[in-house]
Amino acid sequence: MREMRRHDRQLTEAETMEIIQRGEYGVLCTVTPEGLPYGVPISYALDEGANAIYFHGTIQEGQKTDNLAHQPQA
């Protein structure tokens, strides 16, 4: 990935965590297997002990599942 061009606008890790802790929802952006962008609003839960964010979704099928299987780095 490229470095951020405007370093003066870059958030610190503490600022980022504060936003995540206070937030109620976010947007998960992925890429479809066909290469198309896909963004969907999600509710999430932060597990600081596991350093993880969890969100609701089906394991068996769905666009999010397909996209994450295609490009898990999202």
How confident is the model over 18-70, as pLDDT tens digits?
A: 999 999 899 999 999 999 999 999 999 999 888 899 988 777 788 998 999 99
pTM: 0.73
Burial class (CB in 10 A: 0-12, 13-18, 19+), 67: buried
Q: Which residues pair with 42 in a beta bridge?
A: 26
Q: How far is CA 49 from CA 12, 27, 33, 53, 56, in A?
A: 19, 23, 33, 11, 19
What is the C-alpha separation between 46 and 28, in angstroms, rounded? Answer: 14
Q: Please report, for the chain, the start and end positions of each structural domain, with discontinuous segments joined by +.
A: 24-74
Q: 3-state DSSP call for residue 73? A: coil
